[in-house]
Homo-oligomer: A and B are copies of this chain.
Amino acid sequence: MTTIVLDAMGSDNYPDVDVQGALMAAQEYDLDLILVGDEKQIREKIASHLQNKNLPIRIVHAPEMLTMDDKSDDLVRKARHKDAQNSMAIAIDLVKNGEADAFVSAGNTGAAMVTSLFRLGRLKGINRPGLAPTFPTETGKCLVLDIGANPDCKPRNLVEFAIMGSIYVEKVWGVTKPKVGIVSNGEEAGKGSSLVRETYPLLEELDINFTGNVEGKGVIRGEVDVAVTDGFTGNVMLKTAEAVAKLLTNKIKETIMKGNLLTKIGGLLLKPALGTVKEALDPSDVGAAPLLGVDGLVFIGHGSSDANAIKNAIRVAKEAVETDVLDSMREAIEKK
């Protein structure tokens, strides 16, 4: 049976949202769950849902937690500390020692990355792990990596992202020969920053379906399944995309609120349809981004995750476990 360990102190609304998402996942999917965090708070939260008494959920107490206030130096120190008592470290150690198959957290992204990296180590042959969220596109979705772990990248890093991203999408999403592009400021080969131009020929040599440069609009149009980029560009892309979507929905809401009676009636009639649009573009449907390149399965979600996002993050982690994606990555990196 697949066992997923969840940092119950992760989301902005911990542990309520995290525990609720876990209960939903335990009811819907066939898996064992371990919740790590303040035992008393977690028990109280579970107890408030009486019907859940017999779910396959185990609690492991963690007296401390990492927050947005922990600075980089603290995080590194705590990540390295053998007997760290925070929920992330204890949860990740359960993956390390084989008690759990994958780790999920909606906590501080930097904290989750640093703690995973120091406690699990890197996959053999990987220079730097990459965080890989899913972008909604015109035709479905696209895995973009890296989006923040590495603001400065070398060609080698992008090559590793391409291999890992391609295998992840093939195994976990079930896409045959996923199209892999490198994010650039023009489609033609030869366009791009010096990093892109140096990386391009290396990607051509790989045993992946490399389709060349892809522009920001190409990613959103769904031209590729995997888009590789340095963490700086990826981060700016992700945050711009999220903000534009929000800007547009805010403007629509505002215009409806300020409109005349007919506009308001139109708004009411369209509400369910706009809900469908929101759902189609909702990151909570994907739940969390895999941190590819650490020696273990790690999924990091938005701090603003709701219970549904936590549930989906657990589902995606379970799928990653059951498709043996980590072993496939190991093999591909050795062959490289």
Binding site for B on A (CB under 8 A): 136-138, 148, 151-152, 183-186, 191-194, 196, 215-217, 219-221, 229-233, 235-252, 255-256, 259, 262-263, 265-270, 272-274, 276-277, 280-281
Contacts and interface: CB of A to CB of B under 8 A. Distances in A.
A266 B263 contact: no
The prevalent SS among residues of A at the interface is helix
Contact of A220 (B151, B215, B244, B265): B244
A277 B255 CA distance: 7
Contact of A193 (B151, B183, B268, B270): B151
Contacts of A184: 232, 236
Can you tell how many copies of this chain the complex includes? 2
Instruction: Choose among A186, A244, A265, A272 the residue with the greatest number of B CB atoms under 10 Å from its CB.
Output: A244
A232 B239 CA distance: 16
Contacts of A194: 151-152
A217 B271 CA distance: 26
Contact of A269 (B186, B230, B265, B280): B265
A277 B265 contact: no
Q: Nearest 3 pairs between A and B by C-beta?
A: A266-B269, A216-B240, A216-B239
B193 A216 contact: no
A270 B256 contact: yes
A233 B152 CA distance: 13
